[in-house]
Chain A
């Protein structure tokens, strides 16, 4: 599967089905082998290491085979990625460590309000498809600031877009590197800081030599691992526990049973809080209407608009062969994402029921504390401080508010709770690693490409030759990766890693200038610069205000600051555009051209 030459490359594209089919088969054989090894007595630790190293070596090999010194291949994977595979790559790019590891746990603990993320992170693709992807593909840009810079003209507009992109993506990437570090540390038994650098090494192996081409083909491989790793445990558990062959369609009863049990057991705060872990206090599903509805909808809107403005997602649609393929690949993307997102609530519900329902063998609530403390999975997770049992009312029985857990571990611990073999846990760890690595790759590449293409090549040195440009791109990739790993290793990510912030930064600065650039001919340079800068500043200032203890206005807290940023951005773009001269005829003709799917790309022609 050599993919480094021009003609070889097309034979690779023709054989994608075969290549990834064999790869999937190979992964399943490896899984079976590990299962057999577990049965003959190989330890859990060795199996965990096996899963991690096996998958990372494969990604690295793909990264090596995709190496390139061509600009088009480095920035947009040669624009030859078929829609189906671009859909898989986007899904992996999209589903981060947070989606894989934390989403189900969030639903488990957060109930109704948390479902705003599920709606937001899927509905956003409707906006991507309707408003952005096909038009940006027609434009033929390499990066998102490339679109802003060409449509609106001028280095200042391009520069502001680069700033917004870097802030949004960097906020996001530290959390991903943190996740790779956590998983590597636990599976390999190395300190967290070392785990972070190990994770970074894996990430760079995928992206450095091949740029977007390397990232594309590793992301496809990573999607296959992550989706198998997410679905297998849920379906296995469901069958082992008698919830139905495919649990997704049959867990309605389980959700209602939980509501009933919550009524009986009572959802109360713990008598004494324990740091880092929490008890269940939010009902599984109980919308209140009014402010509750408002908060849900504003969160969903922020996530949806953020999806449609995050550059690492939008740039995936630059890699398809045509506009039609770009649209089709949005359809595939959401389908592949949907597979995980509609599984997460099922996972959260079934895991919760297993712990709560006294008629099930796996339940722990209401049993004697001593008996529960002796369970192996309770011991494993307590040792690392991610779970705690405390008989705070001293009656010797475990109450619901005496069972403490870190939300992040729900997905990772589910196989053990359900009593599945360890090989499943190894699989889940490999899946989490794939999810975090693929997203980190996309984000790092988005940042490095914007800096190397837009800042270095377009603004600083437009006469730089290809070789220099690609070397600069790679050096930046390493530097930014190292900076992100350094910050992740300081474990400041509790502050920096809020994924929701990345979405709000992106939509505050980029959503309306991008949409209006395509949909409103009258939008001009001054308007776009004002929209990006004021929206971004207003959003950031509001974030600072609520985060330092200010009273949120209308319930708009730090997860939703994009509402403020977007409103300011929209008004600024429109008002300033109308106050200044309309764009010249050439720009207006460019917008007309963008709206026609066929023909040459805009940028291809102007070069």
Chain B
């Protein structure tokens, strides 16, 4: 059975994953849903809704993975599961 350390490690891993999934849902689902409304704003000469679909959300996805991995590495190291 899982030790106390393993349990804590998994709890932290799980919370991090939930946060990542929420951010993913905002940029992958919510923002595309409201693209029309966002077009009222402009960004770098683009209409904001359009910008998010062709660049903004994509940049967030890339950054999100790298930040998650950075955090996850720290969690792993903390509980002695680093490599």
A-side residues, CB < 8 A to B, are 112, 115-116, 118-120, 122-123, 125-127, 129-131, 134, 248-250, 252-253, 255-256, 285, 287-289, 292-293, 296-297, 300-301, 304, 322-324, 327-328, 330-331, 334-335, 338, 341-342, 345-346, 589, 592, 595-598
Contacts and interface: CB of A to CB of B under 8 A. Distances in A.
Contacts of B46: 252, 255
Contact of B65 (A116, A126, A285, A589): A126
Interface of chain A: mostly helix, strand, loop or mixed: helix
A289 B36 contact: yes
Interface string B7-25: 0011001000100110010
A130 B29 contact: no
A583 to B, nearest CB: 14
B28 A248 contact: no
Interface string B57-83: 111011011101100110010000111
B35 A293 contact: yes
B40 interface: no
A95 to B, nearest CB: 14
A129 B24 CA distance: 12
Contact of B36 (A116, A287, A335, A592): A287
A255 B50 contact: yes
A334 B62 contact: yes
A296 B76 contact: no
A596 B9 contact: yes
Contact of A250 (B45, B59, B82): B45
Contacts of B69: 129, 324, 327-328, 330-331
| Majority SS at the chain B contact face | helix
A126 B32 contact: no
Contacts of B47: 252, 255-256, 285
Interface of B: 1-2, 6, 9-10, 13, 17, 20-21, 24, 27-29, 32-37, 39, 42-47, 49-51, 53-55, 57-59, 61-62, 64-66, 68-69, 72-73, 76, 81-83
B62 A338 contact: yes
Contact of A595 (B10, B27, B49, B53): B10
A119 B24 contact: no
B83 A119 contact: no
Contact of A112 (B27, B29, B35, B65): B35
Nearest to A346: B54
A127 B24 contact: yes
A269 B36 CA distance: 24
B54 A118 contact: yes
Contacts of B32: 115-116, 119, 293, 296-297, 300
B35 A598 contact: no
Nearest to A344: B54
**Most chain B beta-carbon contacts within 10 A, residue among A122, A304, A328, A330:** A122
Nearest to B57: A119
A126 B9 contact: no
A307 B66 CA distance: 18
Contacts of A592: 1-2, 6, 10
A229 to B, nearest CB: 20
A288 to B, nearest CB: 7
Given A296-B32, A301-B29, A327-B72, A122 B81 contact: no
A249 B44 contact: yes
Nearest to B30: A297
A129 B67 CA distance: 11
A323 B83 contact: yes
A310 to B, nearest CB: 17
Contacts of A255: 46-47, 50
